[in-house]
Structure 1
Amino acid sequence: MQQDRQVSQHERRIARRYMIELGGSLAIYVALMAPSMLWGDALPDGALKTAVAVAPMGGFLLMIWAIARQVQRMDEYVRRQLLETIGIAAAITAGATFTYGFLETAGYPRLSMFTVWGVMGTSWAAVCAARCLMAKR
Structure 2
Amino acid sequence: MHEKVIGRRYLRELFGAIGVYWLLLTLSIVFGKDLPNGPARTLILAIPVIGVALAVWAIVRQMRRVDEFVRLLTLQNIALAAAITASLTFSYGFLELAGFPRVSMFVVWPVMAVSWLLIGLVRKITKR
TM > 0.5: yes
CA deviation map 1:11-64 (0-9, x unaligned)? 232123223322332232223222201121111111000000000101110110
- Aligned position for 2:36: 44
- Aligned position for 2:115: 123
Aligned length: 128
Cα deviation for residue 133 of structure 1 reads: 4.2
Q: Choose 125-134 or 60-69, whichever is displaced more.
A: 125-134
- Aligned position for 1:99: 91
The gaps in structure 2 that reach 5 residues or longer are none
Give the whole-Å Cα distance in 2 for the aligned partners of 1:125 and 1:60. Answer: 18
CA deviation map 1:63-86 (0-9, x unaligned)? 100111011101110110011011
- Aligned position for 1:64: 56
Q: Choose 92-101 or 22-31, whichever is displaced more.
A: 22-31
- Aligned-pair RMSD on alpha carbons? 1.7
Length-normalised TM-score, structure 1:
0.83
Residue identity over aligned pairs, in percent, reads 46
